[in-house]
């Protein structure tokens, strides 16, 4: 295959008049060696690294879409103090136990067979993952049984176009479930959000192309607590907030794109926009509660998920072709401790049982075909 794969949520790549930076990732070998620059030492069995990272879009041109004026909650004031991260690491990182890996309907075809943005249905425990090039979702049971597909390519209700507006050769397909089992889909190529009830029935859609309130130019990440719906837009460079009925509430500058929301309704956003990567935590009103400066790797901080205890998970990927997944990181904000594993992917979701994690990925070294993987997740 000769497909170029996308860096799905990277800051600074905003000109929607031309394709985003893409990466060659298909048909490559698995024996790529990536060397980390860090000094290592054991610290209570936990890992903390202090290196430098930049987004895959660093140095790209500003957005051609006019960024909207910042809304309420944007004037953040002083950031609450956060304990500094340790600056040492132990090595090597252990691997996670693979519980299963699955594909859905393998008769499907597409120019970019990446999987994207796994999300767990809170009512059933089933996990959904986008097959971006095909405009649909594969659905798996927690034990890996393929249950079928949802959606179809198109522009009608319940149909999707996951080829990104800012880069038609790139695919996304972010989905977010509310606690009642209803869900929202970032229908990127159609420049809209679609809402469905817990029976998977279409409810409504909103949005169009543009830079105004409630419009989209590259809606590639979404999160909800059932009350508010947060939509990241790389091309606009912002995060828009809606209520569950699609009414626009506010917007604020989006520092990175990867989103996760905890049980208390606090929003976490990965910030790869500066020389030091961080995770920003916002309250339900849009105010910045904390900024957690992260140790950096010789790679990019990719994806974001939060478990029931408030621990944050993200993946690390190399910036060098063929962009293999380098591993998974767990960050505990309460203690500023980090645990790292050598196993990882791109977008991710925590199982409701908290003892496993789902990983999806673009087709790259170690991911030779569109797959969803489930790994056992150590409690400590």
Amino acid 98: pLDDT: 97
pLDDT at residue 226 greater than cutoff 90: yes
Amino acid 111: pLDDT: 61
More confident residue, 369 or 355: 355
Taking residues 286-312, what's their average pLDDT? 89
Instruction: Please write the tens of the pLDDT for every residue from 284-293.
Output: 888 999 999 8
More confident residue, 23 or 376: 376
pTM for this predicted structure: 0.80
Label residues 191-203 b or e (16+ Cβ within 10 Å = b).
Answer: bbbbbbeeebeee
Question: Please, what is the average pLDDT of the chain?
Answer: 78
pLDDT at residue 241 greater than cutoff 90: yes
Listed range (89-93, 200-204, 263-267, 355-359) with the worst mean pLDDT = 89-93
Give which of 362, 343, 376 is closest to 114, Cα–Cα. Answer: 362
Amino acid 323: pLDDT: 64
Query: Which pair of structure tokens corresponds to residue 284?
Result: 């339900």
Amino acid 80: pLDDT: 53
Give which of 101, 40, 152, 87 is closest to 376, Cα–Cα. Answer: 101
Instruction: Please write the tens of the pLDDT for every residue from 116-164.
Output: 999 999 999 999 999 998 999 999 999 999 999 999 999 999 999 999 9
Instruction: Please write the tens of the pLDDT for every residue from 261-292.
Output: 999 999 999 988 777 789 999 998 889 999 99
Residue 8 CB contacts under 8 Å (≥ 6 apart), including other chains: 116, 170, 172, 220, 257, 346, 347, 362
Give which of 89, 277, 376, 7 is closest to 268, Cα–Cα. Answer: 277
Map residue 188 onto helix, strand or coil. Answer: helix
CB-CB contact of 239 with 229 (8 Å): no
The sign of the dihedral angle between the CA atoms of 40, 41, 45, 47 is negative
């Amino acid at each position: 295959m000769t497909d170029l794969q996308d860096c799905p949520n990277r800051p600074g790549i905003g000109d929607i008049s031309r394709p985003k930076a893409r990466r060659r990732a298909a048909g490559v070998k698995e024996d790529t060696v990536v060397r980390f620059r860090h000094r290592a030492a054991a610290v209570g069995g936990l890992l903390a690294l202090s290196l430098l990272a930049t987004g895959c879009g660093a140095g790209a041109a500003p957005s051609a879409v006019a960024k909207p004026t910042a809304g309420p909650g944007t004037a953040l004031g002083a950031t609450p103090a956060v304990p500094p991260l340790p600056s040492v690491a132990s090595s090597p990182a252990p691997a996670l136990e693979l519980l299963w890996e699955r594909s859905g309907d393998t008769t499907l075809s597409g120019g970019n067979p990446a999987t994207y943005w796994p999300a767990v249905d809170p009512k059933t425990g089933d996990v959904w993952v986008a097959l971006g090039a095909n405009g649909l979702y594969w659905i798996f049971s927690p034990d890996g049984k393929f249950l079928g597909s949802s959606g179809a390519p198109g522009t009608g209700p319940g149909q999707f176009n996951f080829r990104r507006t800012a880069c038609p050769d790139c695919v996304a397909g972010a989905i977010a479930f509310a606690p009642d089992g209803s869900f929202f889909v970032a229908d990127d190529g159609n420049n809209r959000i679609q809402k469905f009830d817990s029976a998977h029935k279409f409810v409504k859609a909103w949005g169009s192309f543009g830079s105004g309130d409630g419009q989209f130019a590259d809606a590639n990440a979404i999160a909800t607590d059932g009350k508010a719906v947060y939509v990241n837009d790389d091309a606009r460079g912002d995060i828009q907030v809606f209520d569950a009925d699609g009414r626009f509430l506010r917007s604020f500058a989006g520092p990175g794109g990867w989103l996760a929301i905890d049980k208390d309704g606090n929003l976490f956003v990965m910030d790869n926009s500066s020389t030091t990567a961080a995770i920003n935590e916002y309250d339900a009103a849009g105010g910045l509660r904390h900024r957690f400066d992260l140790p950096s790797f010789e790679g990019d901080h990719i994806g974001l998920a939060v478990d029931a205890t408030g621990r944050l998970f993200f993946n690390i990927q190399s910036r060098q072709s063929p962009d293999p997944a380098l591993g998974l990181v767990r960050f505990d904000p309460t203690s500023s401790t980090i645990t790292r594993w050598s196993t990882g992917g791109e977008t991710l979701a925590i199982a409701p049982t908290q003892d496993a994690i789902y990983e999806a990925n673009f087709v790259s070294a170690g991911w030779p075909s569109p797959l969803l993987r489930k790994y056992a997740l150590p409690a400590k």
